[in-house]
Amino acid sequence: MLRFDRVEIRQGDFMLRANFSVAPGAITAVVGPSGSGKSTLLGAAAGFIPLAAGRVLVGDRDVTTLPPGERPVSVVFQDGNLFPHLDIATNVALGLHPSGRLTRERRTAVEGALARVGLEGFGGRRPSELSGGQQSRAALARALLRERPVVLLDEPFAALGPALRAGMLALVAEVFADRTVIIVTHAPEDARAVAAETIFVDGGLAAKPVPTDALFDDPPPALKDYLG
Amino acid sequence: MAIGAQPLGPGGRAGVAAALAVPALIAVTAGAVLWQAGPGRGLSPADWSAVRFTLWQAAVSAVLSIGLAVPLARALARRRFRGRALLVTLLGAPFLLPTIVAVFGLVAVFGRSGALNAVLGWLGLPEVTIYGAHGVILAHVFYNLPLATRLILQGWAAIPAERFRLAATLGMDAAAVNRHLERPMLMRVVPGAALLVFVICTTSFAIALTLGGGPRATTVELAIYQALRFDFDLTRAAVLSLVQLAITGVAALLALRWVGETGIGAGLDRPVRRFDARGPGLRLLDGAVIMLATLFLVLPMVAVALRGLPAFIDLPASVWTALLRSLAVAAASTALVVAGVLAISLAVVRLGRRGHVLEGAALLAVAASPLVIGTGLFIIVHPFVDPGRLALPVTALVNAVMTMPFALRAVIPATQAAEAEFGRLADSVGLAGWTRLRLLVLPRISRPLGFAAGLAAALSMGDLGVIALFADPETATLPLQVYRLMGAYRMDDAAAAALLLLVVTLALFRAFDRGGRGHVEV
């Protein structure tokens, strides 16, 4: 579904290579030391970071030169996912149409999405009135409505406590069941919980996805160092 | 960060055009002036004395304003008292105060039949007059003492509170604090503040028009006005305009090196807890300084209100029509500023690094003299149309250009912050064009944009510059009407009209400024 075709990313001295496909309709985790380029990999897929070489494909479609908003991709960042000056319903409605205008039809869809992430009745509130976990849920609701086949999650729950994080991961697995999801995390247990396969990023290379349990049961030396 | 610079788009292209229109207007009008002046026409002795007076009164005004501002700022910095925040806010008000209102207030207090002379007469002392050089300087100090105080108070606020705490633990007294903390700061802040006041005083036309005049108190700008209005000597007006351009250009270039802030709208209401300067003598001194400064700044306004209120009921109809004209001019100027500042801000943000050039181009207006621009426009249009018919549109245009630098200073940083913080998110959900403006930029910058609009409305409402150059007897704005009533010695009507002008100006500023704060959620 999502394919990095001989991708090279250069930012000053930093370089990252990736050449693999991600399993369609499943959750794939990205792990690696901080500064290794996990977020850079996602940024390249989302269209925020230009490629020095190679292509990014979604399905059969080359999206390398498409701007972020036009890619068949939704992104959830670690924070700053919501416009603080817009209410939750409008923030979520941006997933339906970038005008954010709430027609009756859209309002119904927004309410449905909010209900699925456990935020019924929160549409009229501002982001500042929500807890961190609730803000993450609202961001997921918007990604849900956007109906893009690929969902990129860049450490979206890093600021949440362990129990809350497990709940959010379960929610991700449930609501994005039919989509191709890539989630950056630094917690091995997160990867084990939801990701069938995991990409290990280190030393300028994003490795081909391998089965998560096998990877962590018998980690390569670099991953062993990282896990400590 | 979004990749690459964003495409400029129609809004951005309009911004580039608007930013370039400012230097274009300055250049075209300066060109017209230059062409009209022609070669070989020198300055007459009267012109030279206008040059000398302009520089002299600006220098004296700057020295006096700063000399009084330092003790006042020091008193405000080290004292906490009820009403301090209000007083600091009040120090920002003269920027919005229509000049003619201030002049009327000063005349009411310091003029021939004013309060001061009543006291002097009672004491058997000779009476003073406000007309002439010292009147011009008095009015300049009235305007610039608050500005200088705010600038210097910023310097005090910039000294970290921990330094004062450290000074207290070391047992430093006021003199030691002054030597180690305050004097180094003043050495840094005072030259810039003094230069800024000097520049402002070289281009203050309305005060010279109302209080100056005659061979001993005529500024270059006033001489331009007289050459144009009384002698219809376009060439002399043009030559004087070149002189004025040179004076303000040089002074503004010097000032730009020092001055980063204009001292308006900054938060200065947090006094630092101080342990030095607790002696009764210093407390008395600070108290007296604050009291006298407050009286000096407030009494003229009180005089306007006291004198104006009784005559308010039967204001002549000419005042109401003048008010309508002023409102129309202010509305047009505000619309121009809001549209221009929005477009320029977007263009500056979208161009990234190269945007600074654009910003600089639009900020050039700081160094422009509205009267010189007006003279240039007068020279350009008068062969084709009666300048009087263009008085209102030209006034609105020049007012907008002159407000632009302040508006840009307020709005550009907010626009940059909005894009830096939320640009990536907006990109990821595909916000572009008008929708991006409506959902991202406008809500994030509504506060500074409202402030800019308020500033534009207030400055345009109170302007008494270009309008005096262009207006015929039928097209007076409210400030010009006040001036004419004063000239006709109809002082009660003038007072009531001045009060009306003051109230409307402040109400407009407040309405726009509040409007911008309406739905802020940060």
Name the minimum distance, in Å, from the CA of A99 to any CA of chain B: 6
pLDDT of residue A70: 85
Nearest to B260 by CA among B189, B338, B169: B189
CA-based nearest distance B22→chain A, Å: 33
Q: Which residues of A touch B522 (CB under 8 A)?
A: 84-85
Q: Is B522 helix (H, G, I), strand (E, B) or coil?
A: coil
Distance CA B298, CA B507 (A): 18
Residue in B with minimal Cα distance to A143? B429
Cβ contact (<8 Å) for B430 and A98? yes
B10-39+316-522 CATH pick, 1.25.40.10, 1.10.3720.10, 3.90.1150.10, 1.10.150.20: 1.10.3720.10
Question: Residue A126: closest CA among chain B residues belongs to which residue?
Answer: B521
- Check CB contact under 8 Å for B521 and A126: yes
Does A69 sit within 8 Å of B432, measured CB to CB? yes
Full pLDDT tens readout for chain B, 522 residues: 344 456 677 778 888 888 888 888 988 998 888 888 877 677 888 889 999 999 999 999 999 999 999 999 999 988 888 888 888 888 888 888 999 999 999 998 988 877 788 888 888 887 778 888 989 999 999 999 998 998 888 888 888 777 777 777 776 778 878 887 888 888 888 888 888 888 889 888 899 999 988 878 899 999 999 998 888 888 888 899 989 888 888 877 776 665 544 444 344 555 566 667 677 888 888 889 999 999 999 999 999 999 888 888 888 888 999 999 999 999 999 999 999 999 999 898 888 777 778 887 777 777 778 888 999 999 999 889 888 888 999 999 999 998 988 898 889 889 988 988 898 899 888 888 888 888 889 999 998 999 999 999 999 999 998 898 888 878 899 999 999 999 888 888 999 999 999 999 999 998 998 887 765 444
- What's the N-to-C CA distance of chain B in angstroms? 20
CA torsion, ordered B266, B271, B277, B281, to nearest 10 deg: 80
What DSSP string describes A53-117? EEEEEETTEE-TTS-GGGSSEEEE-SS--S-TTS-HHHHHHTTT-TT----HHHHHHHHHHHHHT
Q: B443 and A81: CB-CB below 8 Å?
A: no
The H-assigned helical ranges of B438-517 are 442-462, 466-470, 478-487, 491-517
CA distance B296 to B289: 11
> How many Cβ atoms from other residues are within 10 Å of residue A222's Cβ?
17
Backbone dihedral region of A54: left (phi > 0), alpha (psi from -120 to 50 degrees) or beta? left
Residue B409 touches partner A, C-beta closer than 8 Å: no
Contact B3 A48 (CB under 8 A): yes
pLDDT at B280: 80
Nearest Cα of chain B lies from the Cα of A169 at a distance, in angstroms, of 22
For chain A, say whether B422 makes contact (Cβ under 8 Å): yes
Q: Does B325 touch chain A (CB under 8 A)?
A: no
Mutate: best of A48, A70, A85, A130, partner B, most B CBs <10 A: A85
Q: Which 8-state DSSP code applies to residue B402?
A: H
Q: How far apart are CA B369 and CA B206, in angstroms?
A: 12
Among the listed residues A206, A211, A213, the one whose alpha carbon sits nearest the alpha carbon of residue A222: A206
Measured over the CA atoms of residue B504, residue B508, residue B511 and residue B517, the dihedral's sign is negative
Query: What DSSP assignment string belongs to B86-128?
Result: HHHHHHHGGGTS-HHHHHHHHHHHHSTTSHHHHHHHHTTPPP-
> Residue A138's pLDDT is what?
94
Which residue from A minimizes the CA distance to B6?
A67
Q: Do A85 and B425 touch (CB under 8 A)?
A: no
Please answer yes or no on whether B432 and A80 come within 8 Å at the CB atom: no
Alpha-carbon gap, residue B290 to B79, rounded angstroms: 10
pLDDT for B1: 38
Is A95 in contact with B440 (Cβ distance < 8 A)?
A: no
Contacts of A170 (CB under 8 A, 6+ apart): A193, A194
What is the three-class DSSP state of B59?
A: helix
Domains B10-39+316-522 and B47-311 share a fold: yes
One-letter identity of residue B477: T
| B518 interfacial to chain A (CB closer than 8 Å) | no
Distance CA B314, CA B492 (A): 10
- Asked whether the beta carbons of residue B431 and residue A94 sit closer than 8 angstroms, the reply is yes
The beta-carbon neighbor of B427 closest among A69, A100, A126 is: A69
* pLDDT score of B351: 85
Which class does domain B47-311 fall in? mainly alpha
Query: Would you call B428 and A84 a contact, using CB atoms and an 8 Å cutoff?
Result: no
* Chain mean position to CA B404: 12
- At B515, is the secondary structure helix, strand, or coil? helix
* Pick from B428, B431, B520: CB nearest A46: B428
CA distance B74 to B151: 12
Of B1, B425, B522, the CB nearest to A81: B425
Q: What is the pLDDT of residue B272?
A: 64
Whether B100 contacts B500, CB under 8 Å:
no
Q: How far is A11 from chain B (nearest CA, A)?
A: 12
Measured in whole angstroms, the distance separating CA B359 from the mean position of its chain's CA atoms is 20
B422 with A83: Cβ contact below 8 A: yes
Tell me the DSSP string of B237-296.
HHHHHHHHHHHHHHHHHHHHHH-----SS-----PPP--S--SHHHHHHHHHHHHHHHHH
pTM for the model stands at: 0.80
A99 contact B CB<8A: yes
How far is residue A46's CA from residue B427's CA, in Å, rounded to a whole number? 10
Distance CA A204, CA A220 (A): 16
Report pLDDT for B5. Answer: 52
Q: Which of residues 4-23 of B touch A (CB under 8 A)?
A: 4
Interchain CB contact of A156 with B (< 8 Å): no
User: B169 — contact with chain A (CB < 8 Å)?
Assistant: no
Contact criterion met (CB below 8 Å) for B151 and B72: no
Beta strand pairing call for A14-22 and A2-11: antiparallel
Distance between terminal CA atoms of chain A? Answer: 33
Question: What CA–CA distances, in Å, run from B73 to A13, B288, B290?
Answer: 51, 13, 9
CB contact under 8 A, B521 and A77: no
Rounded (10°) CA dihedral B491, B496, B500, B502: 50
Taking alpha carbons only, the member of A73, A59, A78 closest to residue A181 is A73
pLDDT given for residue B273 in this prediction: 62
User: Is residue B439 a contact partner of residue B60, using CB atoms and an 8 Å limit?
Assistant: no
Q: Which residues of chain A carry a pLDDT beneath 70?
A: none
| Residue B137 three-state SS | helix
Give the one of B3, B422, B435 whose C-beta lies nearest to A98's C-beta: B435
Half-sphere exposure for B306 (CA within 13 Å, toward CB) = 11
From B268, B274, B304, select the one nearest B87 (Cα to Cα).
Answer: B268
A84 contacts B521? CB cut-off 8 A:
yes
- Give the strand pairing for A197-202 and A205-206: antiparallel
Does A124 lie at the interface with B, CB-CB under 8 angstroms?
A: no
ipTM of this predicted structure: 0.76
Tokens, residue B406: 């302040």
What is the C-alpha separation between B45 and B53, in angstroms, rounded? 12
Q: Which residues of B touch A63 (CB under 8 A)?
A: none
From the list A47, A80, A128, which residue is nearest B425 (CB)?
A: A80
Interface test with B, best of A83, A128, A135, A148 (most B CBs within 10 A): A83
Residue B418 parent element (H or E) = helix B391-428
Q: Cβ contact (<8 Å) for B424 and A67?
A: no
Alpha helical stretches, state H, A125-161: 132-146
Task: Mark yes or no for CB contact B429/A85 under 8 Å.
Answer: no
Smallest CA–CA distance, residue A101 to chain B, in Å, is 10
Domain range summary for chain B, segments of one domain joined by +: 10-39+316-522, 47-311
A100–chain B nearest CA distance, Å: 8
**What radius of gyration, in Å, describes the C-alpha atoms of chain B?**
24
Q: Does B118 touch chain A (CB under 8 A)?
A: no
Question: In this complex, do B521 and A100 lie within 8 Å of one another by their Cβ atoms?
Answer: no
Residues B424, A74: C-beta atoms closer than 8 Å: no
Residues of A in contact with B432 (CB under 8 A): 69, 98
